[in-house]
Amino acid sequence: MNAVAGQCSAAIDVLYGDTMTNPISRHYEALLAEHYTWMFGIPFQEKVDEQRRLLEMLGIGPGQHGTALDLGCGPGFQSIALANLGFEKIVAIDSSRALLDELNSQKGNLPIETTLADLRDFDRFAVAGSAEAIVCMGDTLTHLDNMQDVAGVFKKARDMLQPSGLLLLTFRDLSIELTGLDRFLPVHADNDRIMTCMLEYRSDVVLVNDLVHVRESGGWTLRKSSYQKLRLSPNTLSDELTRLGFTVRTNEPVGRMHALIAEK
């Protein structure tokens, strides 16, 4: 992957991640799902390879592995990377049918089971104590409604993980506020599409406004939609994981994202 493409992919991870929950699924179905893979600016397989390298850096090496859960899997960048690292079963959960369809079209014979559901209900699709790893990556956590939802996901993850199982989280530290023109972010553009994002900061959430100009036969058409993301503090999340009995192994920035790795 060349440097420009890598920077573009990293920037989009910061903004969007790989997840949807019910309150924002309308945004994905109305606007974002159609443009989701395109906006990273690199081919699908390059994105999978990038995520495999990230998973290895975060502590999951290649080998014989059991079950993994991918919460807010999107089109499957992490799910396919997990399969390539040797997991014998991956349960991939998302609330966007369009993105799950894309994952199904990309997975081939890999052992990935796609599930249309809200990620807060993921415990319905796993046996307690059965998961070797649970990943919730991209900017998934910020899509939840409130800190109570985040704590609920953490508690369910603890219950679903086997002893010494890992919970891998990446998210954007939105507690750091952008101001002025820095709130206007170019996402990706080509001859037929131009995507821009504008952020509005509030006390506990950020309003994400997506603007996509699409070239059609009669000229350019503007499509637009908005949704909210939580402003989550890494140390607050780390403290909550510790309170629930996890051992936090990693709490540090990874590129423009933040990573938390917790062991049961």
Place 5 in a pLDDT band, splitting at 50, 70 and 90: very low
In whole angstroms, how large is the CA radius of gyration of the chain?
18
Q: Distance (Å, rounded) from C-alpha 213 to C-alpha 193?
A: 6
- CA 12, 142, 163, 249 dihedral sign is positive
Q: What's the rounded mean pLDDT across residues 158-165?
A: 98
Predicted pLDDT of residue 57: 95
Beta strands 257-263 and 161-171 are antiparallel
Say which CATH superfamily domain 27-174+233-263 falls into: Vaccinia Virus protein VP39 (3.40.50.150)
Strand partners, 91: 69, 113
Q: Distance (Å, rounded) from C-alpha 91 to C-alpha 124?
A: 11
CA 133 to chain CA mean position, Å: 15
Q: What is the pTM of this model?
A: 0.87
Q: Distance (Å, rounded) from C-alpha 102 to C-alpha 96?
A: 10
Q: Six-digit token pair at 118?
A: 């809200």
Which of residues 134 and 1 earns the better pLDDT score? 134
Q: Summarize pLDDT for 92-135 with one digit per residue, the tens.
A: 999 889 999 999 999 999 999 999 999 999 999 999 999 999 99
Q: Can you give the length of the chain in residues?
A: 264
CATH of span 184-230: 2.20.25
Hey, where are the domains in the chain?
A: 27-174+233-263, 184-230
Place 32 in a pLDDT band, splitting at 50, 70 and 90: low
